[in-house]
Chains A and B, each alone.
Chain A
């Protein structure tokens, strides 16, 4: 298993992701600086969370033009599994690998707390462990938006990966932390090898640090 974690100026979850991957797969990922122009064979690429380029212009917009992202887009189109977490999700959206947009939370507040998500698609490599999982969110722009046509398309093609829900798995308005359309917390591309999600599974891999539900996502794709 060879994995890679992309590092931008302002990434701050890259090391957490590396620790999670090493703990679950037994081998440490290679950290790739955003100026690099190639990635050798990869079984998994992760675009981690943080505040790449200080969130200038729009979250993820500047990072999406970094040299390494052209490589990530090529790899994704060739079928390599790619996960974008939080700011990484915003970056993948800005590259157009994933549909829709992530706009300001409807509360206008930065939200940092545990939430629950429910896997909506058990056929993807990321959601084989069909789970209800508790993990943290930490974002200001995580409110998933898509046009009516795009929303229909992602629903028709089974591209919703995770929805926000309560601890029992019930998807309702109270469980929606940020105003996302249809409680969407994570989506897939149409070939189901690219996942973007706002919650942080890498911050939920240790019982002693609040829970380990996040490992299900990594185990699904790594094992």
Chain B
């Protein structure tokens, strides 16, 4: 099973990198950008095919290590 994990900064946490990316895209001529938020994307390949058990395990992984819940949100998708 392939798990796709997205980790993004919480809405109330300033994202200076996102801001710089937005400015740069605007400088390149891409108009209409309201804001850019950047984050991390992690792929994990897991044994087995029990999606429910995998979801529980992946949530624990995010809470214990992959995301810092003080500043980050995460989402888990399993294919």
Contacts and interface: CB of A to CB of B under 8 A. Distances in A.
Interface of A: 57-58, 61, 65, 94, 100-101, 103-108, 145-147, 150, 179
Given A57-B65, A61-B65, A65-B65, A108 B70 contact: no
Contacts of A100: 70
A104 B17 contact: yes
Given A65-B65, A103-B14, A179-B14, 16 more contacts: A57-B66, A58-B68, A61-B65, A94-B68, A101-B68, A101-B70, A103-B9, A103-B13, A103-B71, A106-B14, A107-B16, A108-B16, A145-B14, A146-B70, A147-B70, A179-B16
Interface string B1-13: 0000000010011
Interface of B: 9, 12-14, 16-17, 20, 65-66, 68, 70-71
A89 B78 CA distance: 35
A105 B71 CA distance: 14
Considering the complex of A and B, which 8 residue pairs feature the smallest CB-CB distances, nearest first? A101-B70, A101-B71, A108-B16, A106-B16, A58-B68, A104-B16, A101-B68, A145-B71
Secondary structure at the A interface, as helix, strand, loop or mixed, is loop
